[in-house]
Amino acid sequence: MAIYRDKILRIDLTTKRVVVEELPKEVKYKFVGGRGFGAWFLYKELSPKIEPFAPDNKLLFLPGVLAGTVAPGFSRWIVVTKSPLTGCYARSVGGGKFGAAIKLVGYDFIVIEGRSERPSYVYIDKEGIKIFEAEDLWGLDTQETQKKLWERHGRKTHIACIGPAGEKLVRFAAIIHERRAAARCGVGAVMGAKNLKAIAINTEGCSPPPLHDREGFLKLVKEHNHVLKTHPRRQRLTQLGTTFMTMRMHELGIFPVKNFQEGTIPGVEQISAEAFLKLKVKDYGCYACTTRCGNVFEVKEGPYKGAVSEGPEYETIFAFGGEVCNTEIGSLVAADALCDRMGLDTISTGVTIGFLMELFEKGIVSKDEIDGLEPKWGDHVVMMTLIEKIGKRIGIGKLLGEGVKRAAEAIGRGAERYAMHAKGLELPGYEPRAAKAHGLSYATSNIGGSHMYGYARQEISGATEPREVDRLADEGKGDIAGWNQIKKAREETGVLCNFADSNITPKFISDLYVAATGIPEFGDLDYLDKVGERIVCLERCFNVREGFNRKDDVLPERFLKEPLRNAGPSTGEMIRKMDTLLDEYYEYMGYDKNGVPKREKLKELGLDDMVEDIPGE
Amino acid sequence: MKVKLAFLDVLNAVEIFGAQKFEFEMKGKTVKDLLNEIIEGYGHKAKELFFKSGRYDSTFQIIINGRKYVLPEEMERFTLAEGDTVIFSPLVNGG
C-alpha cells in the first residue's frame, strides 16, 4: 500500500533488542496515521497504572501519514507516552524535519521501551539501527548535543534530544529537534528516565515514500502552494509568526497577566509584533513547508544583547511576558533560547515561575525558602535565574521542576489556589474566562491544559465553522469544544501544522490522503471525522482506565470564583456554569455523566473489541 | 457619530493613521460606511489594509466592542452606535 512503510521500529533499551514489526492493514484504515497510530498502540500495549518513569512506559515517535512528501505542513511529529506531569495520556508535537526523517529512513513510527543501563543514543540510517553510549553527551545542552552528533554522523542527521532538564527528570522537560520542541506533558523527562539522550536519523541515500497517484498528488500540492503565495495569513506568519497575536489578545482580555489574575499589562506594545520586527534576522521553514513561520530574532541592545532564538511565539510571549508581567523584549528572546537549550516547555516553565511570583506576592513563601530570591512581577533577571535553576534542578528548581500541581501540594498553606493547571498540565496563554469553549477544552482535554488539543478558533479568531460563537456566553459550548477536539485529532493523522493550514479544507486533506494512499474510504469526509472521533475517544478510554473521569475535568477555582480583573471587554467574566458545560460536552461526545464513553459510542466507533476494560453504561 | 478605532498588530498603523488607537467621527451608520470613510480619509495605504490584489481581505478582521466579529457579508447591514469600539486586526491564530 502506497505511502506507508508498513514497519514499526521497536527498540528495547534494556535488552538492546531491535525489532521491526508489520503495521497491520486494519490499523491504517481505522487510524490512518500519526496521532491515530499512537492512540491505538499505547492503549493496546501500555498496562494501566504503570509509573511514567518506569522502564515499562513506552515512548512513541510518530510522523503523520504524509510525512516525507512535498505536502506543506504535514511533516511534523508527535510524541505519545504516559505523562510524568499529569499521569494521563501525553501527546506532544514538534516541528522541523524529524517527522519526515522517520518516514524517509523507512518507518511508520518508532517505539522506545525499557531503560538503558548507561546514557545512550539511538542511531538510525538506511543500513540499520545502532545503540551508542552517550556518556560524552550527557550534561550537554540540546544545541551542543546536536552539534556533536552532526560532527560525528554528518549534517543529514536529524536529531531529537533532551537537555539537562530531561536528564534531571524535570516533569515538564521537552524533546528538542533543531530549535523546535515537542514540549508539553514532560515527554523529555520520560526520555531522560530511559537514559536516552537522543535519537539520530541519518537520511543520506533515503527516498521519499511512494505515492499511489503521484501526478494527482503533486497537482494538488502545486495548486495549494500557488494559493499560499499570496495568502495574507500565510504572509503574516512568514513575516513575524504569532507575534501578531499579542496586541489583539491583550485588547480583548484574552492575554493572561500575573498568573491569570488579570488581563492588562502596562507597556504591552514593547512586546508587540512591531517591536519584534526590529529584532528579526531570518526565517526558517520545516520540511517541505512554504509558510516558513520560524522567525529568528536577535537582541541588538540592552541587557540581553546577543541573545538569539527561533522564537518566541505567542505562547512564549505569554509565558515569559504576560504571565510574569514582564515587557523586557530581550528577556523573552533570551528565555526562549535558554528553554530550548535546557530542553524545557516554555509554557509550563513560565506558568511555574508566575505561580511562585504570586505566592511571593501573597506572602505564602518567603525569600529564605527560595534561595534568597525575591521573585516580583516583572523581574526578568529573577525569571532567567529561575529558568536556569529549574533546568538544572538546583535549589528551589528542585521543587519547581515538579510542576505547579505537585509544588503546590508540597508547599501547602493554600498554594493550590494559585496553581494554574488542568490535570497537572500548566495552562497556556488564553484566559478561560474570556473564551469559555476554549476553557472547557482545557478541562476536558485528555492531555490536560492544552490550547492545541481543542483550539477554539471560533472564540479566538471568529471562525464560523461549525457555527458562530459568542466567546463570553456561559453555556452552549459543549459541542464546540468537542467539535474542535475531533477536528484536531482528524488533522493530526497527518500531524497537520496549525500555522501551515491556510487554505486547507477537510476536502483538500481527504484528496491528498486518497492520492497518497489509494484508499478510497479516505475520500469520505464523514469517514475521516469518525477517525478523529475514534482517536479522541480512545485517548479518553486510556485515561478512564487510569482512573480519570469527571472529577478530573476541572479548572482552577480562580476561574469559577474570581471575576476577571482589568481585562477590557472581558472584565468581570467567570466560568459560571461549569457543570452545564461538562454535561453538554459529554452528551456531544457520547459519554455518560461521569465522562466515560458509553458502550454504544464505543461500538459506533469500532472500539468495542479493543476497549473492554473500562466501566460505563 | 464618534467611534473608537484600534488597528492592532498592524505594522504600519502609525504611519497611516498617526496612531494605533484613535477616535473617528463617522457620517454613516454601518461597518461598510466606516470602511469607506476610513479609505476616503486616509488614502490608498489604508485601502491596502482591506483590499489585496483588488479583492476584500477577509483575514483582516473587524471586531465590534471586543466581542462580535463582523463577517464581510454582514458589513452592509451591521450598524454601529455612538462610542462603539472597532478593532481591526490581521488574522493569525494558534501556538
Nearest to B59 among A232, A269, A569 (CB): A232
Interface test with A, best of B5, B9, B48 (most A CBs within 10 A): B9
**CB-CB under 8 Å, B9 with A248:** yes
- pLDDT tens readout for residues A24-65: 999 999 999 999 999 999 999 999 999 999 999 999 999 999
Decide if B18 is inside a domain: yes
Nearest to A244 among B6, B53, B92 (CB): B92
Partner residue facing A569 (CB), from B8, B60, B67: B67
Walk me through the domains of chain A, giving residue ranges and CATH numbers: 7-202 (3.60.9.10), 242-421 (1.10.569.10)
Q: How many angstroms separate the Cα of A211 from the Cα of each of A4, A489, A597?
A: 9, 23, 37
pLDDT at A605: 97
CB–CB contact B92 A457 (8 Å): no
Domain that holds residue B79: 2-90
Residue A290 CB neighbour total at 10 angstroms: 18
The confidence score (pLDDT) of residue B95 equals 65
- The verdict on residue B67 lying in a domain is yes
Shortest distance between the Cα of B65 and any Cα of chain A, in A, equals 7
| Contact residues for A69 (Cβ-Cβ < 8 A; gap 6+) | A3, A75, A208, A209, A211, A217, A221, A288, A516
| Residue B21 counted as domain residue | yes
- Residue A317 has which C-alpha cell? 510571549
- The grid coordinates listed for A210 are 511512494
Residue A498: list chain B partners with CB under 8 A: 93-95
Number of domains in chain B: 1
DSSP H or E segment with residue B4 = strand B2-7
Contact call for A248 and B93, based on CB within 8 A: no
Quick check: is B86 in a domain? yes
pLDDT tens, residue by residue, A549-581: 999 999 999 999 999 999 999 999 999 999 999
The per-residue pLDDT for A1 is 72
Q: How far is B19 from chain A (nearest CA, A)?
A: 12
The verdict on a CB contact (< 8 Å) between A569 and B65 is yes
Whole-number Å distance between alpha carbons of A491 and A496: 6
Q: Is residue B49 part of a domain?
A: yes
For residue B47, give how far its alpha carbon lies from the nearest alpha carbon of chain A (Å).
15
The residues on B that touch A, with CB distances below 8 Å, are 6, 8-9, 11, 20, 52-53, 57, 59-61, 63, 65-69, 71, 85, 87, 89-95
* Separation in Å, CA of B7 to nearest CA in chain A: 9
| Structural domain contains residue B10 | yes
Instruction: Collect the ranges in chain A with pLDDT lower than 70.
Output: 617
> What's the one-letter identity of residue A355?
F
Grid cell for residue A354: 508566575
Q: Let me know if A565 is exposed, middle or buried by CB neighbors in 10 A (0-12, 13-18, 19+).
A: middle
Contacts of A455 in chain B (CB under 8 A): 93-94
Q: Given CB atoms, is A252 within the 8 Å cutoff of chain B? A: yes
pLDDT at A357: 98
State which H helix or E strand residue A283 sits in: strand A280-284
Could you give the dihedral angle defined by the CA atoms of residues A424, A429, A434 and A439, in that order, rounded to the nearest 10 degrees? -30
- Residue A12: beta bridge partners? A17, A113
Record: contact A233-B53, CB cut-off 8 A: no
For residue A248, what is the nearest residue in chain B, using CA coordinates?
B8
CA-based nearest distance B10→chain A, Å: 8
* B95 in any annotated domain: no
| Banded pLDDT at B54 (limits 50, 70, 90) | confident
Stated pTM of the model: 0.97
Q: What is the CATH number of the domain that holds B10?
A: 3.10.20.30
Of the candidates A314, A438, A413, A286, the one whose C-alpha atom is nearest the C-alpha of residue A362 is A413
Flag whether B7 is in a domain: yes
Closest-CA residue to A347 (of A249, A436, A421): A421
Length of chain B: 95
A161 contact partners, CB below 8 Å, separation of at least 6 = A121, A137, A142, A145, A146, A149, A175, A176, A177, A197, A198, A199, A343
Please tell me the distance in Å from B29's CA to the nearest CA on chain A. 22
Q: Do A247 and B60 touch (CB under 8 A)?
A: no
- Give the pLDDT confidence score for residue A441 in this predicted structure: 98
| Partner-chain contact A244 B90, CB within 8 Å | yes
Q: Prior bond to A312 cis, omega within 30?
A: yes
Cell of A332: 523573552
Using only the alpha carbons of chain B, give its radius of gyration: 12
